[in-house]
Amino acid sequence: MVNPDYLRFDFTYHKNLTPEEIKQIEDRVNEKIRENITVDVFETTYKKALDRGVIAIFGEKYNPESVRVVDIPQFSAELCGGTHVAATGAIGLFKITDVTALSAGNRRIFAVTGIRALELMQENFSTIKTLSQHFKIKPEEIVSTIEKQEQTARTLEQTVKNLKKQLFASHIPAWIAQTEKVKGLPFLYVLENDCSVDELREVVTELLKKQPGLYLLVSNDATGKSSFYAALSPEFSTVVDLKAFGAWLNTTHGLKGGGKPGTLQGGGEKVTHNLGAAVIKWLNLQIS
């Protein structure tokens, strides 16, 4: 595809292009643009074109008696090569925006030219300048600064996870003490904030180790959404149908999820403490 300010080009290559290779392509094309080479466009026979070394690409069908040749002297000569300018300088500027893999050995270049390429450069410069001013650093220090910020964020995230784990471990005895017996089934509902499903799973696993039963842990986040994790000990699998429990959570409280035998996990809208009392009522109706 060739438009005045955008192009797409498919080519055969055995591996991904490196950033250095992409820069080499851009440098070569922009060099020829700056040279403002006069483009020679003419028609000839297919055989004469091939005899001159003109490239016929993409496996297209050509009229043997008349083909359009686009010749950029000392650089490129193709059959209907897609360049529709009198001289290469009219292109202005060339910038590759992406290179993707289509299939094994086949790749596609996306690029912009002219005004659009200039606009892209200006947008990127503005972004770099804004980041530089925000972090109070030189433009060339932006990447390393962001990498340091990412590492700090990962470290803090791990610290928070460890602190949560310690906090939850300290709550286990109190939660076990709060467990209610519903017709002989130990049940506990806990509502927390800003916990991941993995964190809820870890807590439920520890609770099951201390006391078999049915545990439902829910966490609300700042966006008004919730996550939940529930587990039922194998010895109570004939007492409560966990699949039916999941369907009930979905239809009555908007908590949609699934899981393997003995567990449920999912999420939905923000949940209130009233869910615990509702579950107890449901269990009383289900357990004979």
Q: Which of 210, 233, 206, 223 is nearest to 268 (CA)?
A: 223
Strands 40-44 and 67-72: antiparallel
0.85 exceeded by pTM: no
Domain made up of 171-286: CATH architecture: Roll (3.10)
Q: Cα–Cα distance between 250 and 268 in angstroms, integer?
A: 9
Model pLDDT for residues 124-159, shown as the tens digit of each residue: 999 999 999 999 999 999 999 999 999 999 999 999
CB 67, CB 46: distance < 8 Å = yes
Q: Taking 70 as the threshold, does the pLDDT of residue 119 lie above it?
A: yes
Between 1.20.58.710, 3.30.980.10, 3.40.710.10, 3.90.100.10, what CATH number should domain 6-140 receive?
3.30.980.10
Residues in the chain: 288
DSSP-derived 3-state class of residue 221:
coil
Lowest-confidence region among 19-33, 48-62, 81-95, 218-232: 48-62
Q: Taking 70 as the threshold, does the pLDDT of residue 76 lie above it?
A: yes
Which amino acid is located at 110 in the chain? F
Model pLDDT for residues 29-71, shown as the tens digit of each residue: 999 999 999 999 999 998 999 888 888 765 667 888 888 999 9
Q: Taking 80 as the threshold, does the pLDDT of residue 82 lie above it?
A: no
CB 26, CB 18: distance < 8 Å = no
Annotated domain spans of the chain: 6-140, 171-286
Which amino acid is located at 227 in the chain? S
